[in-house]
Amino acid sequence: MTKIEEVEQAKSCIQHIIHKTPIIHSRSLQEKWGRRVFFKAEHLQKTGSFKIRGAANAVTNAVSAGATLVTAASSGNHGQAVAYVASELGIASVIVVPTDASAAKVAAIKAYGGQVEYCGTTSAERIPHAKSLAHQQGGVYIPPYDHDDIIAGQGTAGLEIIEQMPETDIIVVPVGGGGLISGILTAVKAKRPDVLVIGAEPALANDTAVSLKRGEITAIGPTETIADGLRTSQPGDLTFPVVSGLLDGLVLVEEHEIIEAMHDIAVRTKQVVEPSGAVAAAAVMAGKAGAPGRTIVAVISGGNVGLARFAELMSTMETG
């Protein structure tokens, strides 16, 4: 299991690569939602999501071990983060993306200096390919969540929250493969065991909820949640024990709640956040995580959404 010392080491290892993101607040949003809520603004992080924290830690360790190439299997935030960090550290990266990856995502990876390779449409095809590319060329494959270096890197967001907002009572975190929440749990439960950590998952991608209920890692079928960063089919071998051992609660949010939270955040705080990034906030908005009078920090995990897609999602909202 990832240790607090590893999170602290990650913090000093990555601090010259990442931003210490602000915590933002809106009085009018707080009044509308009836909760004393603050946002850890990882959509303002370099590359637009927290994924760079784990990527910076894992790629730095790979470079220290002599690697001159890293690979990843993701067209989303993880792939962009790995490409960016590899360029910063002066090594090559190959990011394996599905054949149907959006042109915008591929362009972002290339702009960060990553080489793009297309392979299949499922992660079951992409991951072995990314691993074998690394293997053939003496490189290192960087997984998106199920690795100690990744978990430790993501945990630095937890260290920042308790430093920036010592009065925090409850932290709400979106859950995909569980790297972010495992890192935050590792940091927060070591430093401030009195702070509650609550996970939030889309009801359409409830693999961690199902796994916790059954007491073992359980896969769900393909899901179409708009929160595309949370579409993992099951929690990780390393993340699940952390989550099942330390988590204070897990709540499910509906698709329309995610859209409504994106809307309220845009109107009240002027911030554009992606669907996955709004899931923890949606749980607070819906009254599912946190309680009146408690100080809540919801992690906004990313902001990578095109404006056309953002507008499309807003247009589906019931207005009244």
Ligand X SMILES: *Cc1c(COP(=O)(O)O)cnc(C)c1O
For ligand X, give the closer residue by CB, 157 or 196: 157
Residues 248, 43: Cα–Cα separation, whole Å? 25
- Report in angstroms how near the CB of residue 31 gets to ligand X at its nearest: 27
- With H, G, I as helix, E, B as strand and everything else as coil, classify residue 137: coil
For 246, other C-beta atoms within 10 Å of its C-beta total 18
For the chain, the helix, strand and coil percentages under 3-state DSSP, each to the nearest 5: 50, 15, 35
Decide if 37 contacts 180 (C-beta within 8 A). Answer: no
Q: Identify the sign of the CA torsion 108, 16, 295, 189.
A: positive
- Report in angstroms how near the CB of residue 48 gets to ligand X at its nearest: 8
- Report in angstroms how near the CB of residue 250 gets to ligand X at its nearest: 12
Q: Which residue is nearest to ligand X (CB)?
A: 302
- Report in angstroms how near the CB of residue 27 gets to ligand X at its nearest: 26
For ligand X, give the closer residue by CB, 158 or 229: 229
255: which 2 tokens? 């698709």
Amino acid at position 224, single letter:
E
For ligand X, give the closer residue by CB, 98 or 179: 179
For ligand X, give the closer residue by CB, 51 or 129: 51
- Report in angstroms how near the CB of residue 299 gets to ligand X at its nearest: 8
For ligand X, give the closer residue by CB, 78 or 129: 78
Q: How far is CA 250 from CA 49, 110, 206, 210, 275, in A?
A: 22, 36, 10, 10, 18
Q: Compute φ and ψ for 269, nearest 5 degrees.
A: -115, -5
Residues 19, 320: Cα–Cα separation, whole Å? 39
At which residue do the structure tokens 């991951």 appear?
127
- Report in angstroms how near the CB of residue 76 gets to ligand X at its nearest: 6
Under the rule (CB under 6 A), what is the footprint of ligand X? 49, 51, 77, 145, 174-181, 229-230, 232, 274, 276-277, 301-302
Residues 87, 89: Cα–Cα separation, whole Å? 5
For ligand X, give the closer residue by CB, 164 or 233: 233
For ligand X, give the closer residue by CB, 139 or 199: 199
Decide if 217 contacts 235 (C-beta within 8 A). Answer: yes
- Report in angstroms how near the CB of residue 56 gets to ligand X at its nearest: 14
279: which 2 tokens? 């899931």
